[in-house]
């Protein structure tokens, strides 16, 4: 099967999560983050001074993030989650008439924001094995390309970009005088990021997904200092700085990174086993795409039903899933398994009850003459 970049069946994720599903589920297998952490698991000095902090982020946090890459703090800008980091890159590097290449399915921001800045977006799909179709990206590249956007590991496919394809995208950026924007929200080891030592690659990540602290709204971008400077100016004009309280709590998260990752591996390992068994039991209805170190998996829906329709029926049973239409695909759904085994098992049990389209009732209209 091939995921194409068609936009014919878009459904805004914002509408699905904050309007349709709000308050209607007790099991969340839709959001793509590790089970959320708790405030009582973190510590902060009682005498912390709640001033403005720093527009680029407090120094200890920038140094901690730089340490993840093995780089320097002047390559780091702390942001309001990865979402703001991505937006700042678009705002800093794009101008009217410039062109963006993005992969689809993916995060809708990459094809929604650039047009608002006067730029054109070329959407390319994935190869049949869900690897990045770099040849398709190269085919649409031209001298006006300013940004190439790739998410690795990919949301929603769960697949990492292969090293040869990553190298090809870096080369493409260099040939066209563009930048490669890597959304590495789900990457576990940022020391191997292509942004390290490159003046053409920008990496974005946060504490939301792998660490399970989306409520802190702490993300970052790591890249060439000149790009960081341009983004920092735009951040100052919008939010000035982050919450110094949240940034201090973020320092505590990264100080205990090993413990958080251990919990992540334990929980996702148990959850993925349950999803694999679910897919085996329902092989006539779904096909699992084996994820590569992500807290979620992509499942092809092979019943002929639209994913959004099936996910709506699952929502009626109190389970939140993420229909492919919210991520630029119309033939599957994303399921997060970074939850307690009990929650995953119960959620999958409910999904199994709505996985296949309901059978129309038999026609009970009386036959004339009987």
The predicted-structure confidence for 226-261, as pLDDT tens digits, reads as follows 999 999 999 999 999 999 999 999 999 999 999 999
pLDDT band of residue 40 (cuts 50, 70, 90) is very high
Task: With a cut of 90, say whether residue 58 has pLDDT above it.
Answer: yes
Q: Is 348 helix (H, G, I), strand (E, B) or coil?
A: helix
CA distances from 195 to 87, 203, 256 (A): 18, 6, 24
User: Strand (E) positions, 3-144?
Assistant: 27-28, 76-80, 99-103, 120-124
Task: With a cut of 80, say whether residue 152 has pLDDT above it.
Answer: yes
pLDDT band of residue 170 (cuts 50, 70, 90) is very high
Residue 240 dihedral angles phi and psi, to the nearest 5° = 65, -65
Q: Is 298 helix (H, G, I), strand (E, B) or coil?
A: strand
Q: What is the Cα gyration radius of the chain?
A: 22
Which carries the bigger pLDDT value, residue 124 or residue 364? 124
For residues 222 and 203, the answer to whether their CB atoms sit within 8 Å is yes
For residues 232 and 240, the answer to whether their CB atoms sit within 8 Å is no
pLDDT band of residue 362 (cuts 50, 70, 90) is low
For the record, the structure tokens of 250 come out as 């973020």
Task: With a cut of 70, say whether residue 344 has pLDDT above it.
Answer: yes
pLDDT band of residue 9 (cuts 50, 70, 90) is low
pLDDT at 142: 87
For residues 186 and 209, the answer to whether their CB atoms sit within 8 Å is yes
| H runs (alpha helix) in 79-177 | 81-93, 109-116, 134-140, 163-175
Burial class (CB in 10 A: 0-12, 13-18, 19+), 269: exposed
Task: With a cut of 50, say whether residue 370 has pLDDT above it.
Answer: no
% of the chain residues with pLDDT over 70: 95
Task: With a cut of 80, say whether residue 291 has pLDDT above it.
Answer: yes
> For 7-16, 130-139, 221-230, 248-257, which range has the lowest pLDDT when averaged over its residues?
7-16
pLDDT band of residue 96 (cuts 50, 70, 90) is very high
Q: What is the mean pLDDT of residues 161-169?
A: 96
Residue 145 dihedral angles phi and psi, to the nearest 5° = -70, 130
For residues 32 and 334, the answer to whether their CB atoms sit within 8 Å is yes
Q: What is the mean pLDDT of residues 41-50?
A: 93
pLDDT at 358: 85
Task: With a cut of 90, say whether residue 169 has pLDDT above it.
Answer: yes
pLDDT at 8: 45
Model confidence, pTM: 0.91
- Our CA dihedral for 193, 194, 198, 201, rounded to 10 degrees, sits at -100
pLDDT at 1: 33
Q: What is the mean pLDDT of residues 205-227?
A: 97
% of the chain residues with pLDDT over 90: 89
> For 61-65, 137-141, 338-342, 355-359, which range has the lowest pLDDT when averaged over its residues?
355-359
- As a whole number, the mean pLDDT across the chain is 93
Query: How wide is the angle at C-alpha 61 spanned by C-alphas 55 and 66, nearest 5°?
Result: 105
For residues 80 and 304, the answer to whether their CB atoms sit within 8 Å is no
pLDDT at 364: 52
CA distances from 284 to 26, 109, 277, 303 (A): 27, 34, 13, 8
Q: What is the mean pLDDT of residues 204-216?
A: 97
Total residues found in the chain within this entry:
370
pLDDT at 2: 37
Query: How wide is the angle at C-alpha 141 spanned by C-alphas 135 and 147, nearest 5°?
Result: 110
Q: What is the mean pLDDT of residues 20-34?
A: 95
pLDDT band of residue 108 (cuts 50, 70, 90) is confident
Q: What is the mean pLDDT of residues 118-131?
A: 94
Task: With a cut of 60, say whether residue 367 has pLDDT above it.
Answer: no
Query: How wide is the angle at C-alpha 158 spanned by C-alphas 21 and 286, nearest 5°?
Result: 70
């Amino acid at each position: 099967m091939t995921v194409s970049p068609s936009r014919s069946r878009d459904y805004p994720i914002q509408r699905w999560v904050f309007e349709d599903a709000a308050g209607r589920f007790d099991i969340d297998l839709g959001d793509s983050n590790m089970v959320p952490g708790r405030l009582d698991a973190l510590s902060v000095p009682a005498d912390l001074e709640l001033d403005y902090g720093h527009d680029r982020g407090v120094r200890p946090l920038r140094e901690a993030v730089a340490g993840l890459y093995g780089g320097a703090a002047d390559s780091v800008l702390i942001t309001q989650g990865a979402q703001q980091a991505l937006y700042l890159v678009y705002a800093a590097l794009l101008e009217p008439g410039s062109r963006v290449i993005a992969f689809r399915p993916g995060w809708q921001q990459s094809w929604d924001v650039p047009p608002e800045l006067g730029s054109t977006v070329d959407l390319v799909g994935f190869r049949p094995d869900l690897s990045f179709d770099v040849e398709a990206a190269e085919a649409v590249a031209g001298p006006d390309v300013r940004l190439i956007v790739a998410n690795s590991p990919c949301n929603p496919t769960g697949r990492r970009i292969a090293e040869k394809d990553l190298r090809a995208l870096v080369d493409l950026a260099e040939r066209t005088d563009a930048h490669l924007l890597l959304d590495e929200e789900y990457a576990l080891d940022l020391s191997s990021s292509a942004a390290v030592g490159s003046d053409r690659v920008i990496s974005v990540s946060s504490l939301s997904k792998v660490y399970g602290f989306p409520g802190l709204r702490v993300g970052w971008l790591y890249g060439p200092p000149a790009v960081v400077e341009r983004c920092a100016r735009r951040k100052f004009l919008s939010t000035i700085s982050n919450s110094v309280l949240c940034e201090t709590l973020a320092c505590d998260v990264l100080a205990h990174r090993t413990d958080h990752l251990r919990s992540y591996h334990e929980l996702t390992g148990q959850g993925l086993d349950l999803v694999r068994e679910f897919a085996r039991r329902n092989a006539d209805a779904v096909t699992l795409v084996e994820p590569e170190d992500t807290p979620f998996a992509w499942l092809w829906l092979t019943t002929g039903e639209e994913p959004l329709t099936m996910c709506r029926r699952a929502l009626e049973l109190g389970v939140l899933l993420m229909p492919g239409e919210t991520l630029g695909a119309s033939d599957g759904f994303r399921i997060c398994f970074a939850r307690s085994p009990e929650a995953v098992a119960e959620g999958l049990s409910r999904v199994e009850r709505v996985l296949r389209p309901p059978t129309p009732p038999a026609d009970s209209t009386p036959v004339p003459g009987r």
